[in-house]
Amino acid sequence: MKTTRRDFIRTTGAGALGATLVPALVGSQAPGVSSGKSYDVAVVGAGVFGAWVALRLGQAGRRVALLDAYGVGNARASSGGQTRVIRMGYGDQEIYTRWSMHSLDLWKSLLAQASRPSMFQPAGVLWMARGEDPLTTKTLATLRRLGVRHERLGRPELEHRWPQIDFGPNNWAIYEPQSGFLMGFHVVQTVVQNAMTRGVEYLQEAVVPPAGKGRLDSVATRSGKTIRAGTFVFACGPWLPKLFPDLLGERIFPTRQEVFYFGPPPGDARFRSEAMPVWVDFAEEIYGLPDFKGRGFKVAPDRHGPAFDPDTGTRVITPETLATVRKFVARRFPGLKDAPLVSSEVCQYENTSNGDFLIDRHPERDNVWLVGGGSGHGFKHGPAVGEYVAARIVEGGKMETRFSLATKEKVQKRAVY
């Protein structure tokens, strides 16, 4: 079923936080669906990666179909959360700092074009550190080398600027004043709206795992349609192991991740985005976002949770994690020690063995691309991923080794944060 751009915009709202409807569907058939016609590229999965790949290919003049089983930015997708952090700090993993810098420019330009600049909030990002913390020390060097605006703040300055935080054993921090957060699923919907103005056809269809070997000419959908294309991009995030069980069943590890939103006391402005930045307490493997538009003060453990099924997994938080998070909040943000939980999300990371993305051709099907492995940090990089994948498809060119399938191990050893 094809969704027209007008229907899509009508049902996804004009950008206000809280407009959560999935696209309405109309019955008309897109040209490559069960007919003799064919798309240049079919992109399966309209999360942040697939959306940007489709947009870039549309801009390059390709006839593109973008398919999603549950809808753009749906609640099961890894891209389906309310907000996502964009920071430049990545230790000494320079490629991700560079991609993040480039992506932030592209996000801003897309959102400005769409008259929705406030979907990126430059609240700043504060990376708290203890002693010689190697990751933060390396981050500092990388930010300096690449000319990213930042400040190194000692304890007195931290306490002066943000008295609402009890820094505990953290005695210094890096502050990135130009980083911040994006409106999660809303910005993905904005990317797809933009892609549709470039002729990309969005179809809400679930693709059946492709069988056989060799070149792929078409895929089938669960509703019985056939989608023909010259090239296929599978950007299915945590579903990639279900689509390619033999290849990826043991190489992408979807893990259950809980997100908590606490309600600050009435009239208390100290925890709003005007008053404090996004923060990361790396040693405690936890991060969070200030209260934005009254949605609550977000706190999310970054430690990998148990294995999770993105289709059927229960998306209700556990009392155990809530208790742990509450204790942390009471210590680090004493003004929130009695704050009620006002909402929550259960999402999943789609981890590779070390956190590097997976962007490669299928080893036995050279017109099939595998794009995923965002590993809990991929969202911000959507624009760079889209540009990279579209350029490889359209122009060819050198592939980045660290994104290759060959580097993806069957045992997890996290190295990229």
Ligand X SMILES: Cc1cc2nc3c(=O)[nH]c(=O)nc-3n(C[C@H](O)[C@H](O)[C@H](O)COP(=O)(O)OP(=O)(O)OC[C@H]3O[C@@H](n4cnc5c(N)ncnc54)[C@H](O)[C@@H]3O)c2cc1C
What residues line the site for ligand X (CB under 6 A)? 44-50, 67-70, 74, 77-79, 81, 84-85, 206-207, 235-239, 243, 257, 259, 300, 347-349, 372, 374, 376-380
Q: What's the min distance (Å) between Cβ of 268 and ligand X?
A: 24
Q: What's the min distance (Å) between Cβ of 130 and ligand X?
A: 22
Structure tokens at 396: 């060819």
Distance between CA atoms of residues 70 and 372, nearest Å: 17
Task: Decide whether 150 or 256 has the Cβ nearer to ligand X.
Answer: 256
Instruction: Confirm if 108 and 117 have CB atoms less than 8 A apart.
Output: yes
Helix, strand or coil, per DSSP, at residue 16:
coil
Q: What's the min distance (Å) between Cβ of 155 and ligand X?
A: 26
In whole angstroms, how far apart are CA 223 and each of 155, 208, 249, 261? 59, 10, 25, 37
* 93 DSSP 8-state letter: -
Residue partners of 244: CB distance under 8 A and separation at least 6? 209, 234, 362, 370
The one-letter amino acid code at 154 reads: G
Task: Decide whether 335 or 350 has the Cβ nearer to ligand X.
Answer: 350
Task: Decide whether 335 or 345 has the Cβ nearer to ligand X.
Answer: 345
Structure tokens at 20: 């959560």
Helix (H) or strand (E) holding 97: helix 94-113
Dihedral angle of Cα 257, 208, 215, 203, to the nearest 10 degrees: -80
Task: Decide whether 264 or 376 has the Cβ nearer to ligand X.
Answer: 376
Q: What's the min distance (Å) between Cβ of 154 and ligand X?
A: 26
Distance between CA atoms of residues 327 and 195, nearest Å: 44
The one-letter amino acid code at 329 reads: V
Task: Decide whether 235 or 390 has the Cβ nearer to ligand X.
Answer: 235
Instruction: Confirm if 291 and 267 have CB atoms less than 8 A apart.
Output: no
Instruction: Confirm if 197 and 366 have CB atoms less than 8 A apart.
Output: no
Distance between CA atoms of residues 247 and 221, nearest Å: 21
Task: Decide whether 48 or 200 has the Cβ nearer to ligand X.
Answer: 48
Residue 195: Cβ-neighbour burial (10 angstroms; 0-12, 13-18, 19+): buried
Q: What's the min distance (Å) between Cβ of 383 and ligand X?
A: 11
Task: Decide whether 83 or 335 has the Cβ nearer to ligand X.
Answer: 83
Task: Decide whether 268 or 392 has the Cβ nearer to ligand X.
Answer: 392
Helix (H) or strand (E) holding 50: helix 48-59
Task: Decide whether 165 or 346 has the Cβ nearer to ligand X.
Answer: 346
Q: What's the min distance (Å) between Cβ of 27 and ligand X?
A: 19
Q: How many residues does the chain have?
A: 417
Distance between CA atoms of residues 317 and 345, nearest Å: 7
- Residue 46 CB-half CA count within 13 A: 36
Structure tokens at 75: 């609640």
Q: What's the min distance (Å) between Cβ of 185 and ligand X?
A: 9
Q: What's the min distance (Å) between Cβ of 121 and ligand X?
A: 12
Helix (H) or strand (E) holding 387: helix 382-395
Q: What's the min distance (Å) between Cβ of 76 and ligand X?
A: 6
Q: What's the min distance (Å) between Cβ of 411 and ligand X?
A: 20
